[in-house]
Amino acid sequence: MDCREFGLAAIRVESWQGCLFVNLSGDAPPLEQWLDEQEDQPRNFERWDLGSLRVAHTTVAEIKANWKILIENYAACLHCPGVHPELVALIPAYRSGSVSEGREDFGVSLATRSSALTATGVTALPALPHLTEQEATSYYGAFAFPNAFLDVSGTFATLTALLPRAADHTTLVTEYLFAPGTMAADGFDPSDVIAFNELVIAQDNGICERVQRGVASRSFVAGVYPDKDSGPHEFDQFYLRHMEAAGVSEPPGA
């Protein structure tokens, strides 16, 4: 018997910044090429050597919403003034409902006298290595299609995986990353940044579940894209192009 004829199917696995990416299609392009085609340009984060960071804490949330709703919510901030008052107080650009402030590096600045995303705007934790002074007081976020969020905020980074369970159920796994030296220091306590980030996540999850109930209504026909919702529109168009190129006809509610 030739074991090669009866072995397990080969899958494509590549690593990037400490993460493993798996593709089951059999004809996946090189990972770096795939990431270069992403609207949010996640490879811009390579300058911070995120692969050298370590996981200090992981949270898991079960959300009664379609995975694409979570991504559309992540890509927009029109909801921020009403849903995230604590976050808006720390990131003034979000008061206008915009996800950016026009910077070339796509970052958004923290408020004056704030240096961290915490309830107080400060923390005892040091900034991540490789960040400039401006970067250490800014927030950066990127979506890597199909199911990952990558965020950097001065003292920590988060890697979030969206795991679809059903048309109306998504598991959200968030890993909190810090520099090894920071984690090894006496008294290392990331609870202030984790608590604030989990507050924002819970707020987002709540409105995503409300959106899911809305689109599931028999009265729902279609949504609209306000001017400040260019992010969700870009994601939806990217998704449709990808599905068309793959020759997949998506069933309703998938």
β-bridge mates for residue 152, sequence order: 140, 157
Same domain, 179 and 194: yes
Same domain, 20 and 118: no
* Domain contains 182: yes
Same domain, 8 and 58: no
Domain tally, the chain: 2
pLDDT in tens, the chain (254 residues): 677 778 777 788 999 999 999 988 777 889 999 999 998 999 999 999 999 999 999 999 999 999 999 999 999 999 999 999 999 999 999 998 888 888 889 999 999 999 999 999 999 999 999 999 999 999 999 999 999 999 999 999 999 999 999 999 999 999 999 999 999 999 999 999 999 999 999 999 999 999 999 999 988 888 888 887 888 889 999 899 888 887 776 655 56
The predicted structure's pLDDT at residue 253: 52
Handedness of CA 35, 36, 42, 48 (dihedral sign): positive
Question: What are the backbone dihedrals phi and psi of residue 71, each rounded to the nearest 5 degrees, phi first?
Answer: -70, -40
The predicted structure's pLDDT at residue 250: 60
The span from the CA of 50 to the CA of 19, in Å, is: 10
Residues whose CB falls within 8 Å of the CB of residue 222, separated by 6 or more in sequence, listed in order: none
Same domain, 25 and 72: no
pTM of whole model > 0.85? yes
The domain spanning residue 176 has which CATH number?
3.90.380.10
Domain containing 6 equals 1-37
The span from the CA of 191 to the CA of 123, in Å, is: 10
Residue 49: exposure state from Cβ atoms within 10 A (0-12, 13-18, ≥19): middle
Same domain, 128 and 81: yes
Same domain, 2 and 62: no
The predicted structure's pLDDT at residue 169: 98
The predicted structure's pLDDT at residue 60: 98
Phi-psi region of 113 (alpha: psi -120 to 50; beta: other; left: phi over 0): left
* Domain contains 251: no
The span from the CA of 17 to the CA of 233, in Å, is: 28
145 within 8 A of 242, measured Cβ to Cβ: yes
What is the chain's alpha carbon radius of gyration, rounded to the nearest angstrom?
19
